[in-house]
A and B are shown apart, each in its own frame.
Chain A
Amino acid sequence: MANITELQQTVSQVRRDIVRMVHANNSGHPGGSLGCSEYLVALYFETMKHDSNFKMDGKGEDLFFLSNGHISPVFYSVLGRSGYFDVAELATFRKINSRLQGHPTTHEGLPGVRMASGSLGQGMSVAIGAAQTKKLNGDDRIVYSLHGDGELQEGQNWEAAMYASANKVDNLICAIDVNGQQIDGSTEEVLDMGSLEAKFTAFGFDVITEKEGNNMEKVLDVLAEAKSRTGNGKPICILLHTEMGNGVDYMMGSHKWHGVAPNDEELANALAQNEETLGDY
């Protein structure tokens, strides 16, 4: 049984890591990272079976692919906090000669990353490929992926979705970070995608909507529910409604913090709102 308090404490530390990493470079993407903190902590600290002694092939492990690579701060923090590498390395984020590139990559050999991402729209296809290989290998673990809602404007997602349902890729759980924001404004203003639930259902997914994607209990529940529905002939989609910038009041719900770093004063304010629970890096 999950210890909700412990997981929430981890989330608090992850949020500190995110704002500190972005502040230190005056670059990076805090908004989406903060909004997905509960989801990634739930995956890595509770839901997934995985080995921080990293092996690229991941045989016998659940796999995670981050398609919206710009939220690398949350990914790096969670990988570091789960033991893939020393959290001290978070200080090298976006700096020269670092394994923590602006967008995740395998190129510098950072443990925990299996595919470069950043150019949007490719992760669902990648996850499907990995899921197909698991089936060929008789490996019954699950492949998880995370995508931005704005990212769904890339057409490749729908090629992938069509393939996944036609080929019953039912060991796949794709989560969409529905925060309703993208760089130029709200997703509704920039390019209204209509009902994502109707779209994914029409594309043959088993769709689960979670309205409270920043509520740890609800996130754990929706992941357990999604997991229980694998193996039934359909790929699974979690529409995870989150708040961009969640956990830092002045960033919450605004697209303005998609890719902007806090200044010194704003950093102090953000840190005051998130307790240091596991020790800052």
Chain B
Amino acid sequence: MKKYPYTETKDTRSGFGAGLVEAARKNPEIVGLCADLTGSLKMNAFEDEFPERFFQVGISEANMMSMAAGMTIGGKIPFTGTFANFSTSRVYDQIRQSIAYSNKNVKICASHAGLTLGEDGATHQVLEDLGMMKMLPGMVVINPCDYNQTKAATMAIAEYVGPVYLRFGRPKMPVFTPADQVFKIGEAVMLNEGSDVTILATGHLVWEAIEAGHILAEMGIDAEVINIHTIKPLDAEAILKSVKKTGCVVTAEEHQMNGGLGDSVAQLLALNNPTPLEMVAVNDTFGESGVPALLMEKYGLTRTDIVKSVEAVLKRK
């Protein structure tokens, strides 16, 4: 198992903040909208540098989404910022009609997704957002794994024309992907080539998948670990190629099993190459308040859970 040394830990939301400023320096059409969470979304640097391009909309997310859609008319590229649950479930109809169906070039940027939001509890821990967003025709859905990748993804979606959902979070995670990476939407990243099992992970679970890979190596299991940073469009070619080699799959994500990455992979495999599959995901339940690490443990989203799932799927080969 390949080693991924790192020197610091950072939150992915800060990667978004840094990427937004850099993208905005390159492209004067980029505007930012925020619903009273500028600090939480790390949009302060953008606001400071481009005050005339920053729109504080207050606690009114529905207005923000439809306004962003309207701002595209005349060439602006709006980046909206709020928590993931307020970016999706709260404003689903606004996104569906004014952004997705109207095919507007809006970038929906969502922080504090999943259980790692921690102490605020289930009201804010959206675990359904990837599913809601991937169901919308034409919507690109991205869930990067660390600071550098989130920054690169933010810059990449600025170049892409069309609606995008970009999901990131609050906890500090190891920064292990290259600072100079070019983010390619829809292109999976191979982290370790292996032959016994394919582990497909997204977002914060990518690091857990790498750690699981090391544990598995000690157990004599050679895992192929792939970072699926783009849930939609899914890199079908990379996944099918890997599965052909390994013959079994484990998916890992900080999301409901229903509608998440595992669900997308299950569909892909069922239609193309039925293969034993285990999913590490939240199983049809809401979260709760607590320290993020303990929540991840309680709800079964750790490296240990990935290892257990690998053991289970290997038996089904």
Contacts and interface: CB of A to CB of B under 8 A. Distances in A.
Given A57-B73, A129-B71, A133-B76, A116 B58 contact: no
B75 A125 contact: no
B68 interface: yes
A159 B31 contact: no
B150 to A, nearest CB: 26
Contact of B97 (A59, A116, A133, A159): A116
Contact of B73 (A56, A119, A156): A56
Interface string A129-168: 1111110110100000000000000011001101100110
A83 interface: no
A129 B70 contact: yes
A107 interface: yes
Interface string B57-81: 1101011111111111111101000
B94 A122 contact: yes
A59 B73 CA distance: 8
Nearest to A59: B74
A112 to B, nearest CB: 13
Interface string A102-115: 00011100000011
Nearest to B65: A125
Given A115-B69, A127-B70, A166-B58, 7 more contacts: A105-B101, A107-B103, A118-B97, A119-B96, A132-B71, A133-B71, A156-B94
B55 interface: yes
Contact of A57 (B63, B75, B96): B75
Interface residues of B, number: 32
Interface in A8-60: 56-59
A137 B98 contact: no
A137 B74 contact: yes
B74 A126 contact: no
A251 interface: no
B63 A160 contact: yes
A123 to B, nearest CB: 8
Interface of A: 56-59, 63, 65, 105-107, 114-119, 121-123, 125-134, 136-137, 139, 155-156, 159-160, 162-163, 166-167
Contacts of A166: 58
B74 A115 contact: no
Contacts of A63: 73
A126 B66 contact: yes
B70 A115 contact: yes
Contacts of B97: 116-119, 122
Given A57-B75, A137-B75, A156 B67 contact: no
B297 interface: no
Given A133-B75, A163-B57, A107 B102 contact: yes
Q: Which 9 A-B pairs have the closest CB atoms?
A: A129-B70, A125-B66, A159-B60, A133-B74, A129-B67, A126-B70, A159-B63, A129-B71, A130-B70
B74 A106 contact: no
Contacts of B72: 129, 133
Contacts of B73: 56-58, 63, 114-115, 129-130, 133
26 contacts: A58-B73, A105-B101, A107-B102, A115-B70, A119-B97, A122-B94, A122-B98, A125-B63, A125-B67, A125-B70, A129-B71, A130-B70, A132-B55, A133-B72, A133-B74, A133-B75, A136-B31, A136-B76, A137-B75, A155-B62, A159-B60, A159-B63, A160-B66, A162-B58, A163-B57, A163-B67
